[in-house]
Amino acid sequence: MGIGRSVAFALAVASMAALAGCGEGPSAPPDAEAASRNLQPADPALAAIYQRSCASCHTVAATGAPLTGDEGAWSPRMDKGMDTLLDSVVNGFGGMPPFGLCMDCDAAQFEALILFMASGEPNGA
Ligand code: HEC
């Protein structure tokens, strides 16, 4: 009986350690969050939209959004293709509300914002 308990205890400790390790995964290191807050599109009109609509989530790791400039988080998204990503923004996707909170944005603006966020480059390159 004593042995069974200590095995259970060891398993509990091991699984807690595994969970703790999870929080430090490569998807959202604290540096990526700080770095994302220093980035914005070069175009002033696009920067204004980005600041009021997208940045509130895409610079905050706790929202679950891929962070601006975090190429590791964006590359599997970009692999879906731009048409799919535009659909995700327009219709909403997971924790993201429809239109990413920019109701008057058009597809070209969404595409420019996506290219900027995925690359972290002010010109979306
Ligand atoms: C209220 C928070 C919020 C706002 C505002 C927001 N997003 Fe998101 N976005 C998210 C979250 C959360 C995800 C990840 C959803 C998931 O994978 O379940 C996401 C994912 C995405 C994706 C990837 C979709 C996919 O199919 O993988 C794109 C593209 C995107 N956002 C673009 C934008 C753009 C452009 C804006 C601004 C116009 C914006 N988002 C505003 C929360 C937000």
What one-character-per-residue DSSP string does 89-121 give?
Answer: HHH-BTTBPGGGG-TT--HHHHHHHHHHHHH--
If one counts the domains in the chain, the total is 1
Asked if pLDDT for residue 11 goes beyond 90, the answer is: no
Q: What is the pLDDT of residues 66-81, one digit of tens each?
A: 999 999 999 999 999 9
Q: Decide which of 20 and 113 is more confident.
A: 113
**Could you tell me if residue 10 is inside a domain?**
no
Which pTM does this prediction carry?
A: 0.82
Q: Answer yes or no: is the C-beta of 94 below 6 A from any ligand 1 atom.
A: yes
**Could you tell me if residue 124 is inside a domain?**
no
Q: Mean pLDDT throughout 49-55?
A: 98
Q: Answer yes or no: is the C-beta of 68 below 6 A from any ligand 1 atom.
A: no
Kindly give the distance from the C-alpha atom of residue 44 to the centroid of ligand 1, in angstroms, as a whole number: 21
Ligand 1 nearest atom to the CA of residue 102, by list position: 38
Tokens of 48: 């204004």
| CATH number of the structural domain spanning residue 46 | 1.10.760.10
**Could you tell me if residue 46 is inside a domain?**
yes
Q: Which domain holds residue 58?
A: 28-119
Give the mean pLDDT of the chain: 86
**Could you tell me if residue 12 is inside a domain?**
no
Cα–Cα dist 22/39, whole Å: 27
**Could you tell me if residue 35 is inside a domain?**
yes
Instruction: Work out the angle at residue 17's Cα, subtended by the Cα atoms of residues 13 and 21, and round it to the nearest 5 degrees.
Output: 170
What does the pLDDT read at residue 30? Answer: 74
Ligand 1 nearest atom to the CA of residue 95, by list position: 12
Q: Answer yes or no: is the C-beta of 77 below 6 A from any ligand 1 atom.
A: yes
**Could you tell me if residue 72 is inside a domain?**
yes
**Could you tell me if residue 3 is inside a domain?**
no
What does the pLDDT read at residue 36? Answer: 96
**Could you tell me if residue 55 is inside a domain?**
yes
Q: Decide which of 61 and 25 is more confident.
A: 61
What letter represents residue 85's amino acid? L
Cα–Cα dist 15/113, whole Å: 39
